[in-house]
């Protein structure tokens, strides 16, 4: 296994001396945002994690290695190449490594690689979920299955309404994944702070969230935890306005016949276009907010003796 993993110096040092770490994914860089905002955001995410007391570990597959911690050149390469890099979920990891094909890792792949390094806390923007119409398309993100089996807490901004929020919650319940609302009872909907659905547990401090995580693993309850953190108020979008944009983007996507793993990147790009860049500003703000919370949870988890 060791031969397959390559740590940055900063992450290796953090592991050696037991500093708190926060994993970050790379599909959000290559497929989630346009260049050069994607690279600026990735770099700023790492800074925010450091400012709040943890060490950032951005994860990708490069030259056949599972890379844990990237250089600024590597971040730039991922951002510049954009969708020219393969979007790699759990399914693709072995193929990428065996053939030395670069991959930007989704939430599922990043969770798995984090778990190999013993990293328990991971910050992103949005997770995949059960797509609208999944009852006929069967399109359910591998992210949910990873949350079911892999011991990593993921901080996100809730479930985007390109997905079916209700079915996503049902799926997570079936798989035994706790959905925590950070200072909220309501499941946030990514661009907006509100939805028609409730989270399982409202928890108000990073310390209490870390305590749930530690207790879960003390009890041998394997699998992930999903923390949903509402977008900061000043960046939240009007639910009806963004709802209409998302509906229009989905109609356009269906017209073009886009299916499978291309759907989420297409919709994100289309939403940026239809909102004239407003959704991108919101997306960046919520990612920063999640990095901050994840860093504080990771600190607390380490302080509580979490391994």
Query: What secondary structure letter does DSSP report for 237?
Result: P
Does 223 help bind ligand PSU (rule: CB under 6 A)?
no
Smallest gap from residue 243 Cβ to ligand PSU (A): 16
Cα distance between residue 188 and residue 268, in whole Å: 17
Identity of the residue, 139 or 300, whose beta carbon is nearer to ligand PSU in the bound complex: 139
Smallest gap from residue 29 Cβ to ligand PSU (A): 8
| Residue in 202, 198, 203, 224 with CA at minimum distance from that of residue 213 | 224
113 binds, among ligand PSU, Mn ion, none (CB under 5 to 8 A by kind): none
Written as one string, the DSSP assignment of 182-234 is ES-SBPPBTTBS--S-B-SEEE--HHHHHHHHHHHHHTT--S-EEEE-PPPGG
Cα distance between residue 203 and residue 136, in whole Å: 35
| Contact status, residue 31 vs residue 83, Cβ threshold 8 Å | yes
Residue 40 among the catalytic residues: no
Does 146 help bind Mn ion (rule: CB under 5 A)?
no
Smallest gap from residue 176 Cβ to Mn ion (A): 21
Smallest gap from residue 130 Cβ to Mn ion (A): 9
Cα distance between residue 177 and residue 235, in whole Å: 28
Q: Is 130 exposed, middle or buried (0-12, 13-18, 19+ CB in 10 A)?
A: buried
Cα distance between residue 200 and residue 181, in whole Å: 7
Cα distance between residue 17 and residue 38, in whole Å: 31
Residue 173 among the catalytic residues: no
205: phi then psi, degrees, rounded to nearest 5: -135, 150
Q: Both ends of the chain: CA-CA distance in Å?
A: 20
Q: Which of 92, 139, 164, 300 binds Mn ion (CB under 5 A)?
A: 139
**Residue closest to Mn ion when measured from CB atoms:** 139
Q: Which of 11, 22, 28, 284 binds ligand PSU (CB under 6 A)?
A: 28
Does 74 help bind Mn ion (rule: CB under 5 A)?
no
Active-site pick, 67, 160, 261, 292: 160
Identity of the residue, 14 or 156, whose beta carbon is nearer to ligand PSU in the bound complex: 156
Write the binding mask 236 to 255 for ligand PSU: x where contact by CB under 6 A, - elsewhere. --------------------
Does 143 help bind Mn ion (rule: CB under 5 A)?
no
Q: Which of 11, 20, 24, 32 binds ligand PSU (CB under 6 A)?
A: 32
- 91-150: contacts with ligand PSU (CB under 6 A): 106-107, 125-128, 141-143
Write the binding mask 230 to 269 for Mn ion: x where contact by CB under 5 A, - elsewhere. ----------------------------------------
Cα distance between residue 70 and residue 105, in whole Å: 13
Identity of the residue, 139 or 146, whose beta carbon is nearer to Mn ion in the bound complex: 139
Identity of the residue, 139 or 300, whose beta carbon is nearer to Mn ion in the bound complex: 139
Count of residues touching ligand PSU (by CB under 6 A): 18
**Helix 206-218 vs helix 278-303: angle between axes, to the nearest 10 degrees?**
60
| Contact status, residue 224 vs residue 152, Cβ threshold 8 Å | yes
Which residues belong to the active site? 25, 160
Q: Where does this chain bind ligand PSU (CB under 6 A)? A: 25, 27-28, 31-32, 106-107, 125-128, 141-143, 160, 261, 264, 268
Q: Where does this chain bind Mn ion (CB under 5 A)? A: 139
């Amino acid at each position: 296994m060791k031969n397959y993993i390559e740590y940055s110096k900063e992450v290796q040092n953090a592991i050696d001396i037991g500093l708190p770490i926060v994993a970050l994914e790379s599909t959000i860089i290559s497929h989630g945002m346009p260049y050069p905002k994607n690279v600026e955001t990735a770099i700023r995410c790492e800074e925010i994690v450091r400012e709040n007391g943890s060490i950032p570990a951005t994860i990708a597959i490069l030259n056949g290695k599972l890379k844990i911690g990237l250089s600024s050149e590597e971040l730039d390469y991922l951002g510049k190449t954009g969708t020219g890099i393969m979007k790699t979920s759990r399914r693709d990891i072995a193929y990428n490594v065996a053939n030395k094909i670069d991959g930007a890792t989704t939430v599922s792949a990043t969770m798995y690689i984090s778990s190999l390094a013993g990293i328990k806390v991971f910050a992103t923007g949005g997770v995949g979920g059960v797509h609208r119409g999944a009852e006929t398309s069967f399109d359910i993100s591998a992210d949910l299955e990873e949350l079911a089996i892999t011991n990593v807490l993921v901080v996100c901004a809730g479930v985007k309404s390109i997905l079916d929020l209700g079915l996503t919650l049902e799926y997570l319940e079936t798989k035994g994944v706790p959905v925590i609302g950070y200072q909220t009872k309501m499941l946030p909907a990514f661009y907006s702070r509100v939805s028609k659905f409730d989270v399982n547990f409202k928890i108000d401090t990073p310390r209490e969230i870390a305590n749930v995580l530690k207790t879960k693993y003390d009890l041998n309850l394997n699998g992930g935890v999903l923390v949903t953190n509402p977008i900061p108020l000043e960046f939240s979008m009007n639910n009806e306005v963004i709802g209409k944009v998302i509906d229009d983007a989905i109609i356009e996507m269906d017209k073009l016949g886009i299916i499978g793993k291309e759907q989420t990147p297409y919709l994100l790009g289309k939403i940026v276009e239809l909102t004239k860049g407003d959704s991108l500003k919101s997306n960046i703000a919520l990612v920063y907010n999640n990095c901050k919370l994840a860093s504080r949870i990771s600190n607390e988890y380490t302080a509580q003796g979490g391994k």
